[in-house]
Structure 1
Amino acid sequence: MDWKNTFSPLNINADDVLPELMLTHLASWGTIQIVGNDAKSYLQGQVTCNVVSLEAQQMTFGAHCDAKGKVWSVFRIFHHNGGYAMFQPLSAIEAELRELKKYAIFSKAELTHCSDITLGLMGAQAQSWIDSHTQTQGDVRSIEGGTAVKIDSQRWLLLVNSEQAVELVNTIEATKVDESLWTRFEIEQAYPVVTQAEQNEHIPQAVNVQALNGISFNKGCYTGQETVARAKYRGINKRAMYIVKGNIESPLEDVVQLERSVGENWRSAGQLMIHYTFADNTTIGLVVLPNNLEEDTELRLTSQPNTRWTIEALPYSLSDDQ
């Protein structure tokens, strides 16, 4: 049996108790790998985060922008296999890699779409499992066949070669679930997920990268820095990413548009970046909205006008004091 077919949906509601240890194949995620003598300095001049100060046991969010400050990619970056890995949605990688490589010809840095497998370890016992299979401490650790990266208190990313992926899937005593549960946790943590559909649409602050310590404002020049700096120091950014929640009447399509109430009328609000539906048809998602909306603004699905959605509290502050 193909190991990729061993993961099944977990039909749950928001308050249901989850299995203590779960494993998923993150088929819609991938990584760009950067190696070479100039890998650190090259990335430092391309992305919003401070690569120079990134320790071997650390992971950080970051963004890569075009010259106008619009985001090609929001990623998690960490040390991997003698270089760096940038973990991000798979659909964003083609354009992101093309743009990121534009000036690499002048540097001793090789950028490739990494062939390693992305697995997600989740649950209350995820930390214990990692501790028993690694020899070091920190949020980034060497593991057999690759690297383990702490995502949050109940999630670890495992970036491993194909042989180790097969070994893990076949031997681990964990519930095998499909990757939609990983999506749920990304939404609940309000971590930006910039897929191909969202590329070149937003500046980093519009998807809350600054709130996740993914922007260094004192590291020096990088592509799009002028726009990012103006958004902080002149207050030009008028948008932010929010968690939204509501009901659905039928399964959602890939592209989901929201409307917001304006008096007795409805106006276009934005497109869901990602979404997750519970067993009771309650759905949560991430969307970029004007950052001056009232908290009680009523929303609905454009394609399902009888639905009602609300803006939920974020798990972090959007204060721009970093």
Structure 2
Amino acid sequence: MSENRVYELSSLRLLRLTGADRQAFLHGQLTRDMNRLDPGQAGLAAWCNPKGRVIATFVVVCADDHIDLLVAADLKDAVIKRLRMFVLRAQVDIEDVEAAAFMGLAGTQALAAAALSDADWSVRLDDARTCIRLPGDRTLVYGDAQDLHALRPEDAAVARDDDWTLRNIETRQPWIDAAVSEQFLPQMLNLDLNGGLDFNKGCYPGQEVVARLHYRGEVKQRLHHGSSDTALTAGEALYSATGERAGHVVNAAANGDGGYRCLAVTNIDSGRLHIGGNDGPAVDIMP
């Protein structure tokens, strides 16, 4: 990729956990093994309800003295309120970092400015900003807005949240927001395939349901790419040719060529599905 592109992101928020018990606290809440995520590392994780349904997905970033959770903006208030209910006597403080700004970078010069290695999920922690290398040759940066501006190449094209969502779709990185919160099990989002779900880490909310599905080997729906000539909406139901509900859209975005792309949790080997009913607009599901 050579074209420099800057994504101005307004759909993310930052929660920062401090205190001596922050890692142990998150280890008992998230699907990821937090004991294997060291300072200077990042990765995906999910937080589930007692039924094993994913409340939110996070980008988790570990630093020496804090752990950051990047979460969908429209879930931030509910997540912070609910997380604080579980703190009890643990030495953990959960801060809503309202001043944090977010920016995505893509393109040769833009990526070089972030000074990261080529490895996915590598992290650079500075006083004013944090840079994370994400799958798909792109970088997510957050921190002080003025400091982020200094990383912008002068010739960079400016893109927005929808374009960033399209990049997530292209790299099969599901992102849970309010439209689809508490609908899917982690395996349905393929979190067991990208490091966001660990079956050996011990208890967390919903762990028994998630583990039962894993050991019985009965994952009947998985995350797939989808494409359509008709606009798609997160949370929208998809139907088979016989009218049976066969899945739901997780994330969706215009592809820039007049069509639309999505990530959808659907029955395995679904093929062509339809929006709203068996006679609705077609959505072609790809492996």
Name the TM-score, length of structure 2 as normaliser.
0.89
1:1-322 equivalent positions in 2, closer than 5 A: 20-80=3-63, 82-115=65-98, 116-131=100-115, 139-143=122-126, 145-168=128-151, 172-248=154-230, 251=231, 256-262=236-242, 266-291=243-268, 294-295=269-270, 297-302=271-276, 305=279, 307-313=281-287
Offset, 1:147: 0.6
Offset, 1:59: 1.3
CA RMSD of aligned residues (A): 2.6
Task: Sort the Cα spacing of 1:304 and 1:238 in 2 relative to 1 into closer, same or farther, 3 A.
Answer: closer
Offset, 1:281: 2.0
1: CA distance, partners of 2:39 / 2:281: 47
Q: Is the 8 A contact 1:275 1:285 kept in 2?
A: yes
The amino acid across from 2:113 in the alignment is W
2: CA distance, partners of 1:69 / 1:255: 18
Q: Is the 8 A contact 1:35 1:83 kept in 2?
A: yes
1: CA distance, partners of 2:129 / 2:205: 30
Offset, 1:211: 0.9
The amino acid across from 1:117 in the alignment is A
1:167-199 residue CA offsets vs partner (Å, 9 max, x unmatched)? 445x75422222222111101111111111211
Aligned length, in residue pairs:
284
The amino acid across from 2:93 in the alignment is E
Q: Is the 8 A contact 1:19 1:175 kept in 2?
A: no
Q: Is the 8 A contact 1:57 1:138 kept in 2?
A: no
Offset, 1:76: 1.5
The amino acid across from 2:49 in the alignment is D
1:86-122 residue CA offsets vs partner (Å, 9 max, x unmatched)? 1232112222222222121311111122221111111
Structure 2 residue ranges without an equivalent (≥5):
none
Question: SS where residue 24 of structure 2 aligns?
Answer: helix
Q: Which has the larger radius of gyration?
A: 1
Task: Sort the Cα spacing of 1:298 and 1:289 in 2 relative to 1 into closer, same or farther, 3 A.
Answer: same
